[in-house]
Amino acid sequence: MHYHFSFYSSILLIFVSQGLVFASLLLHKGISNKRNDSKWLSLFIALCSFYILPYMLGFAGWYSLQPYKDILFYFPLQQTLIIGPAIYFYTQSLLNPQFEFTKKHWLHLVPAGLYLFYSVIIFITDKLILHQYYFYANGKDKDFETWYQLIGLVSMVTYAALSLRYYLLYKRFIFQYISFADYTQLKWIRDCLFTFMTMLLVQLVFFVLFPNWGSFLQKWWYYLLFAFLHYYIGFKGYVNNMKGTLPFYVYRLPHTPIIQLPYVSPLALPLEYDIKSQGEQEVMEITEEGRESVNALKNWKEKLENLVWVKELYKNPQLTLLDIAQSLQTHPTLISRMVNKGYNMNFNDWINSYRVKAIIAMLQNYEHERQTLLGISIDCGFNSKTTFNRCFKKVTGLSPKEFIKTLVPDHDMERPEL
């Protein structure tokens, strides 16, 4: 097989080959571990590698020789209209274990299907009917046409925005439903999306600098940056083993994520609240009577205080809003609203405030002289040193070590008030 090893083709060959390796590894990981998110990322990395491939082969001399020239002409290697949906479905499958690819999702692939049909028409016309270049009379690969590159860029920007919106909704959702949100923010997907948007920004800048999509040599720098960034996503995505564990559903209107739960009997709910059931998702709405009932709110706060503080549920590092709701035989959305309304905090911050309160009590009893700060934080429900330090300073205004310095050495003296 012909391949001219030049500086330009060799550099791109490294990234393309490594990209295909990571795509294969991710596919194997997805199949063996039954992880759909790895399969979607495998598709994304493979598509990015094929996006670079015709350019790499062009520098290797394929556009100058047959049958290599026709292979590049008639096989649409740059599937820019699938790259966007691939990263979008990767984002959803990584964050939401409830996500499944259904018939309606095939609509996202219709534009790519139309371009594939267009490519088939070109092949049939040129090779099977006319036996000469008609569509390719200008000798330019259709994948590099300015109109196709622009449509592909618009598609990828759109899906990048949709993916980022989905991540932001997820981030808002987990702070309302779980007490270990810092640990499960999945910052990797944020970094992945920002890297992908950087790839698109580079392409946009290139279009501004070279409206006609530049010369073959000028475009090499763009493809080099694209190759490097896609390699980073492939590598980091492969080593990432974290994924969302709490299933949720995003309603179109309003744009709010709702937890996916089995049906909850209305008999288990207080009379001053109504349920609107929408399939498996149930949305709690406080009635006007409930909003005006200060006593009802006070009663709920007493129940929550007794459960979380007195019974020490805050010590559970995996505590969720669902755990609280099941203990009180009610719906998690109701508890979420009670926490927001009664404490002006989301669920994550509310539980962490109890954990900090417990740690303060232990420090005032000089527990830090018997065990490490990390050990104390773990005993009180924190699952990482970073989260512990951040939450402690947020509540007290001091770091744990700074707070310890404020303690009076004499155990008989009065402790400082917070």
Beta partners for residue 281, in sequence order = 278
> Residue 274's pLDDT is what?
40
Q: Is the pLDDT of residue 154 over 60?
A: yes
The more confidently predicted of residues 161 and 329 is 161
275 and 282 in contact (C-beta within 8 Å)? Answer: yes
Q: Is the pLDDT of residue 254 over 60?
A: no
261 and 322 in contact (C-beta within 8 Å)? Answer: yes
12 and 71 in contact (C-beta within 8 Å)? Answer: no
Please report, to the nearest 10 degrees, the dihedral formed by the alpha carbons of residues 15, 16, 17, 22 taken in order: 80
User: How does pLDDT run across 102-112, given as a tens digit for each residue?
Assistant: 999 999 999 99
Distance separating alpha carbons of residues 335 and 343, to the nearest angstrom: 12
> Residue 227's pLDDT is what?
95
Distance separating alpha carbons of residues 2 and 360, to the nearest angstrom: 71
Section 191-213 average pLDDT: 86
Backbone angles phi, psi at 162, to 5 degrees: -65, -40
388 and 377 in contact (C-beta within 8 Å)? Answer: yes
> Residue 220's pLDDT is what?
87
174 and 185 in contact (C-beta within 8 Å)? Answer: yes
Distance separating alpha carbons of residues 325 and 339, to the nearest angstrom: 12
> Residue 214's pLDDT is what?
54
The more confidently predicted of residues 25 and 181 is 25
Strands 273-278 and 257-259: unpaired
> Residue 263's pLDDT is what?
38
Distance separating alpha carbons of residues 339 and 342, to the nearest angstrom: 5
> Residue 412's pLDDT is what?
47
> Residue 285's pLDDT is what?
41
- Give exposure, 297-311, as e/b (b: 16+ Cβ within 10 Å): beebeebbeebbeee
> Residue 321's pLDDT is what?
87
Q: Is the pLDDT of residue 17 over 80?
A: yes
Section 74-88 average pLDDT: 95
Give the chain's mean pLDDT.
84
User: How does pLDDT run across 371-403, given as a tens digit for each residue?
Assistant: 999 999 999 999 888 899 999 999 999 999 999
Domain boundaries, the chain: 7-246, 259-406
User: How does pLDDT run across 332-380, given as a tens digit for each residue?
Assistant: 878 888 888 888 899 999 999 999 999 999 999 999 899 999 999 999 9
Q: Is the pLDDT of residue 255 over 60?
A: no
- The contacts of residue 98 (CB under 8 Å, 6+ apart) are 247, 248, 249, 260
4 and 44 in contact (C-beta within 8 Å)? Answer: no
CATH architecture of the domain 7-246 equals Up-down Bundle (1.20)
Q: Is the pLDDT of residue 160 over 90?
A: yes
Give the sign of the dihedral formed by CA 180, CA 183, CA 188, CA 193: positive
The more confidently predicted of residues 261 and 164 is 164
92 and 108 in contact (C-beta within 8 Å)? Answer: no
Q: Is the pLDDT of residue 91 over 60?
A: yes
- Give exposure, 254-275, as e/b (b: 16+ Cβ within 10 Å): eeebbbebeebeeeebeeebeb
- Of 59-68, 132-141, 153-162, give the range with the top mean pLDDT: 153-162
234 pLDDT band, cuts 50/70/90, is very high
Distance separating alpha carbons of residues 223 and 220, to the nearest angstrom: 5
396 and 418 in contact (C-beta within 8 Å)? Answer: yes
CATH of the domain spanning 259-406, picked from 1.10.530.10, 3.40.50.720, 1.10.10.10, 1.10.10.60: 1.10.10.60
Q: Which two tokens stand for residue 408?
A: 């009076």
> Residue 224's pLDDT is what?
93
Distance separating alpha carbons of residues 180 and 245, to the nearest angstrom: 12
> Residue 112's pLDDT is what?
96
Q: Is the pLDDT of residue 54 over 90?
A: yes
- Give exposure, 319-333, as e/b (b: 16+ Cβ within 10 Å): bbbbbbbeebebbbb
Whether 7-246 shares its CATH topology with 259-406 is answered: no
Q: Which two tokens stand for residue 168?
A: 């932001």
> Residue 253's pLDDT is what?
46
Of 101-110, 184-193, 344-353, 407-416, the one with minimum mean pLDDT is 407-416
Of 133-137, 179-183, 197-201, the one with minimum mean pLDDT is 179-183
Alpha helix (H) ranges present in 5-67?
7-32, 36-59
- The contacts of residue 154 (CB under 8 Å, 6+ apart) are none
Using omega within 30 degrees of 0 as the cis cutoff, is the peptide bond preceding 247 cis?
A: no
Q: Is the pLDDT of residue 283 over 60?
A: no
